[in-house]
Structure 1
Amino acid sequence: MSTPQTATLTFLGAAGTVTGSRFLLTVDGRRTMIDAGMFQGEKHLRRRNREKFPVDPSTITDILITHAHADHTSYLPALVRHGFQGRIHATWPTIRLAEIVLRDAGRLQEQAADDARRGGWSKHESPAPLYTTADVEATLPLFRPVEFDTNIDLDPLWVRWTRAGHILGSASIHVTIGARSLLVSGDLGRHDHPILRPRDIPPAADIVLCESTYGDREHPEPEQPHEVLADAIGRTVERRGQVVIPAFAIDRTETVLHALVQLRRAGRIPDIPVIVDGPMSLKALDVYKDSAEELADGVTLAEFTDLDLLETRDGAESRRLNGRTDPMIIISSSGMAEGGRVLYHLARLLPDPRNTVLLSGYQAVGTRGRALQEGARHVKINGHYVAVKAEVLRDNEFSVHADASDLIDWLAALEEPPETVFLVHGEQAASEALGERIATELDLVTVVPQHGEVIDLMA
């Protein structure tokens, strides 16, 4: 193992915003990336996906992935399209889930460009996808599996993945650079994830990048779990309406189903059909079912048989739902209502006050989910404005992001305090609020980095 002389870290995403996780590590001229996600939400952020990448992707040797969510992985095919041919390292569950995410992303990229072209709502004369399904297929063979808590040699780096408890396969990544070290939290799970094994404590590091998505809030701890969900379902059934739950295909769909099982067993919701609509969600569910060793004690996904569960894997099955008016619960991606089949359900159900939309987690600024959360009277779906007359609610209990106290606990549990904590993956206000708490409670230097900022890791 060589001894590095220079090392810098560049914040190419997730700085002052939640999405677009991209951190460029340059050690003695060798380039390694940690995560390669898409920017989501507001238009000025999404435009960054189309900007020329700051370095030639062909000069990047390795990409280290924390977990499979799109804002951490779905820029990978764009890098491959522009020359990246190195290795992509991730845990086995992350690789399996990333395959699902990336194939769906490639399909949606092509579909969005085609819809814009035919619908005429794009400002571009010839709308083109950021990347294609062919770029995705060229990306998948580059993945290399890693084990949790095992050092791998990427001379001059040693890299280690530690379970983060956010979604299946999620990890914090520790990088040793000679005598210096860097720890990237990735997205951290709550101390009590409902279906997964809890997060572990990674090795300490000189520099820590800590997520701050929920840095300014605490998760509720109600006397009865998911009271919002149970009440919403009861009211909607009384109105003879339908409940649609926009849910991320990975982890959120599984935790929503788990909650519905518990509510059904307790007699707190009526026995009505539950539909998981979408091949991406169902493929992810299959991966969870194959990963029993990663589930929390006492949790088995065989419990879903307690529900009147319908899985719609193809488009024809999904379209048949349009003809049903009986009360039901539809779980469909995406979680922030930015794409996928859930848009068709929203377009159909939002104009009718009998129906309910239940938001199941964080809604980034600029997304349809955020607009619905903030009381929008109409939203634009596939080029058309749709009136919002349905009841719109949010169940905060579904979030598996660590809240502010969880993040403080994670930092405090490190064996040695870091020199500096950089707060990433948060809106500016959330990051700043968490920074104040860390400085006050842990007496650590905290910084909210700027997009494009470069720090010297050897200083």
Structure 2
Amino acid sequence: MKLTFLGGAGTVTGSKILLEVNYKKILIDCGLFQGLKELREKNWETLPINLNELDLVLLTHAHLDHSGYIPLLVKNGYKGEIYCTEATKDLTEIILLDSGKIQEEDARRANKYEYSKHNPAEALYNVDDAKEAITHLKTFESNKWHKFNDEIEFKFINSGHILGSVFVLIKVNEKIIAFSGDIGRTEPILLPKFEYIDYADYLIVESTYGNRVHKEVSISDELLKYINHTYAKKGILIIPTFSVERAQEIIYLLSVLKRKKQLPNIPIFLDSPMGVNATEVYFKYNKIHKLTEEDIKSMLSTVHLISSVKASKAVVNDNSPKIVLAGSGMITGGRVLHYLNKYISDKRNSVLIVGFQAEGTRGRALLSGDSEIKFFGEYHKINAEVFKINAFSGHADQNELMDWLKHFKSSPTLTFINHGEPHQSQALKVKIRTVLNWNCTVAKMNNEYYLD
């Protein structure tokens, strides 16, 4: 058996892990690189895999950094299936179609305004590529073993990160290899808590917050504080929002504040076609989240859902106080850029960051205190106030990761730490070795690891 980390090692993006065993090649996750230019450029590199020899792709969840490369995989020759849960399939369809559309639009805009070094600028993949990729998705139930062939079985177990997200267990040669994907919080806002795993011979565990413990604060109180602060300035609160999970969490919390009559009387918009579609998916899968019918009705009455370009432009051009949730969450693209283009230079306005910002993203630049950010080929002065709520994170912190690991009944032969920037991964490695005395290593990009 051999593992190769083709992404998500030394970084939190581009997750792809290749397992080679019994003359079979299985890819666990197939994500896009985001953030730093040197990482984004890897999306254009040819994968070191003969795609005619790739037998299967297993998907832990729908987020772009775990699923966004699938259209390229299929475009470049992969003909096999992609296994996932039902909710992951529905969300992946939404995310890939949106990704193809955004890349088409970015290339078109770059060519129109001639701010790309490439002439012409091209999309990494388009909507048609995404549509083709979606036909390869196949769903399986969680919490039961499924046969891939006579020698290889797999199982999905709830990871509590986003709707449909799972840990992936692969059983082969009497060994179990566990892939964590992304691990959720111990008390998610909308979802059941992650499940524990009893045993694995080999474990791959994420480390996004491997060096940090999230502060215990009231997210609702924090959210209300920034809303009232911006409202008092007669400003506009812009919340760059991940369309899957984070958007639904914020809408739910806003609906609770509205029910308690604590919100100021200002309109709230979710300006994200993907966010709107993802919200509908959440309401569809009412058995795997904690929302009641009353919660759902309240959410729908609290927020104006914006999909059309015409409606979006109208909201952008209305200068009156409002709260806007718009993609993308790391400000790497999407409709949030149009709001920032108009409002980020006005000190009455605020930008509220509500999730992890990868190195090299505009969101990270805002948090770092940069005086300007670049998009649409121009630099934009940052006069709006920038705030962050850390407690919104959908990733387990160090204590929660250790809690999950401590429930293994015996230590894995070897634990690989991935999906983290170097400092976070190293910190988790030291913690695991010190507290659990496990044999572990930090995964390195493109390194091959042979398993006994």
TM-score between both structures, scaled by the size of structure 2: 0.97
- Given candidates 156, 159, 170, the residue that maps to 1:161 is 156
In structure 2, what is the equivalent of residue 39 of structure 1?
33
Secondary structure of the 1:450 match is coil
Contact 1:197 1:297 (C-alpha < 8 Å) held by counterparts: no
Give CA deviations for 1:325-365 in whole Å, capped at 9, x if unaligned: 22111001110011110110111110000001000111000
Q: Give the deviation of 1:58 after TM superposition.
A: 2.3
In structure 1, what is the equivalent of residue 83 of structure 2?
89
In structure 1, what is the equivalent of residue 447 of structure 2?
453
Q: Distance in 1 between matches of 2:435 and 2:257?
A: 38
Is 1:235 equivalent to 2:219 in the alignment? no
Contact 1:24 1:33 (C-alpha < 8 Å) held by counterparts: yes
Give CA deviations for 1:92-133 in whole Å, capped at 9, x if unaligned: 000000000000111112122222222211112222222222
Contact 1:174 1:203 (C-alpha < 8 Å) held by counterparts: no
Q: Distance in 1 between matches of 2:214 and 2:255?
A: 21
Q: Distance in 1 between matches of 2:188 and 2:415?
A: 25
Contact 1:58 1:82 (C-alpha < 8 Å) held by counterparts: no
Q: Which runs of 5+ in 2 are unaligned?
A: none
Q: Distance in 1 between matches of 2:368 and 2:220?
A: 21
Q: Distance in 2 between matches of 1:158 and 1:203?
A: 17
In structure 1, what is the equivalent of residue 175 of structure 2?
180
Is 1:369 equivalent to 2:363 in the alignment? yes
In structure 1, what is the equivalent of residue 19 of structure 2?
25
In structure 1, what is the equivalent of residue 272 of structure 2?
278
| Equivalent residue runs for 1:126-141 within 5 Å | 126-141=120-135
Is 1:105 equivalent to 2:104 in the alignment? no
Tell me the amino acid that sits aligned with residue 17 of structure 2. F
Q: Give the deviation of 1:237 after TM superposition.
A: 0.7
Secondary structure of the 1:186 match is coil
Q: Distance in 1 between matches of 2:138 and 2:198?
A: 22
In structure 1, what is the equivalent of residue 210 of structure 2?
215
Q: Give the deviation of 1:203 after TM superposition.
A: 4.4
Give CA deviations for 1:15-43 in whole Å, capped at 9, x if unaligned: 01001100011113321100000011101
In structure 2, what is the equivalent of residue 4 of structure 1?
none
Q: Distance in 2 between matches of 1:76 and 1:129?
A: 15
In structure 2, what is the equivalent of residue 302 of structure 1?
297
In structure 2, what is the equivalent of residue 331 of structure 1?
325
| Equivalent residue runs for 1:434-453 within 5 Å | 434-453=428-447
Q: Which runs of 5+ in 1 are unaligned?
A: 1-6
- Given candidates 76, 79, 82, the residue that maps to 2:70 is 76
Is 1:260 equivalent to 2:254 in the alignment? yes
- Given candidates 394, 419, 426, the residue that maps to 2:420 is 426
Q: Distance in 1 between matches of 2:392 and 2:52?
A: 39
Q: State which drifts further: 378-387 or 93-102.
A: 378-387
Secondary structure of the 1:58 match is coil
Is 1:225 equivalent to 2:219 in the alignment? yes
Contact 1:11 1:453 (C-alpha < 8 Å) held by counterparts: yes
- Given candidates 113, 126, 142, the residue that maps to 1:148 is 142
Tell me the amino acid that sits aligned with residue 157 of structure 2. T
Secondary structure of the 2:88 match is helix
Q: Distance in 1 between matches of 2:291 and 2:357?
A: 30
Q: Percent identity?
A: 35
Tell me the amino acid that sits aligned with residue 158 of structure 2. R
Q: Distance in 1 between matches of 2:411 and 2:24?
A: 28
Contact 1:276 1:311 (C-alpha < 8 Å) held by counterparts: yes
Q: Distance in 2 between matches of 1:322 and 1:361?
A: 23
Q: Distance in 1 between matches of 2:249 and 2:50?
A: 40
Secondary structure of the 1:158 match is strand
Q: Distance in 1 between matches of 2:114 and 2:301?
A: 46
Aligned residues, how many?
Answer: 450
Contact 2:219 2:392 (C-alpha < 8 Å) held by counterparts: no
The RMSD of aligned alpha carbons is 1.3
Give CA deviations for 1:284-334 in whole Å, capped at 9, x if unaligned: 000001111011276842231452x21111000000012322211100111
Contact 1:226 1:395 (C-alpha < 8 Å) held by counterparts: no
Q: Give the deviation of 1:385 after TM superposition.
A: 1.0
Is 1:201 equivalent to 2:196 in the alignment? yes
Contact 2:197 2:407 (C-alpha < 8 Å) held by counterparts: no
Contact 2:219 2:389 (C-alpha < 8 Å) held by counterparts: no
Secondary structure of the 1:255 match is helix
Q: Distance in 1 between matches of 2:415 and 2:237?
A: 41
